Amino acid sequence: MSAPRRDTRGIVNAADLLSHVRFRRHEPAADLRPYLEHYWLIDWDLPRPYATHVVPHPCVNIVFQHYAGQQPFCEVAGVGLDLFTQELAATGRVCGIQFRPGGFRPFAPHAPAAEWTGRRLAPPAVFDEPAHAPALATALHAVLTPEDDRARVAALDAFLRGLGPHGRGPEPDPQAALATDLVDLIRRDRSIRRVGDFARDQDMPVRTMQRLFAGYVGVGPKWVILRYRIHEALERAEDERAVDWAGLAADLGYADQAHLVRDFTATVGVPPTAHAAR
pLDDT of residue 119: 97
Whose CA is closest to 252, among 240, 266, 267, 234? Answer: 234
Residue 4 within any structural domain of the chain: no
Domain count for the chain, please give it: 2
Q: Is the pLDDT score of 43 beyond 50?
A: yes
Closest by CA to 224, choosing from 268, 183, 269, 267, is 183
Q: How far apart are the first and last CA of the chain?
A: 34
Distance between CA atoms of 225 and 220, rounded to whole angstroms?
A: 9
- What is the Cα–Cα distance from 158 to 131, expressed in whole angstroms? 15
| Of 86-100, 186-200, 233-247, 248-262, the least confident | 233-247
Same domain, 190 and 159: no
pLDDT at 2: 45
Q: Which pLDDT tens digit goes with each residue over 207-224?
A: 999 999 999 999 999 999
68 and 204 in a single domain? The answer is no
Structure-derived torsion over alpha carbons of residues 220, 123, 74, 15, reported in degrees to the nearest 10:
-10
Res. 195: pLDDT tops 90:
yes
Based on the fold, state whether residues 122 and 181 are members of the same structural domain: no
Shared domain check, 224 and 132: no
Across the chain, what does the average pLDDT equal? Answer: 91
183 in the same domain as 117:
no
158 and 183 housed in the same domain: no
159 and 191: one domain? no
User: Is 151 a residue whose pLDDT tops 90?
Assistant: yes
User: By three-state DSSP, how is residue 79 classified?
Assistant: coil
Q: 85: number of CA atoms within 13 Å, CB side? A: 8
Which percentage of the chain shows pLDDT scores above 70?
94
pTM: 0.92
pLDDT above 60 (res 131): no
* 8 Å CB contact between 119 and 70: no
**Is the same domain home to 53 and 79?**
yes
Scanning 87-216, the segments in alpha helix (DSSP H) are: 132-144, 149-161, 174-188, 195-201, 206-216
Domain that holds residue 26: 14-167
DSSP 125: G
Give the C-alpha separation, 112 to 18, whole Å: 35
Pair (92, 198) in one structural domain:
no
Domain-terminating residue out of 167, 202, 217 = 167
| 153-183 pLDDT per residue, tens | 999 999 999 887 666 788 889 999 999 999 9
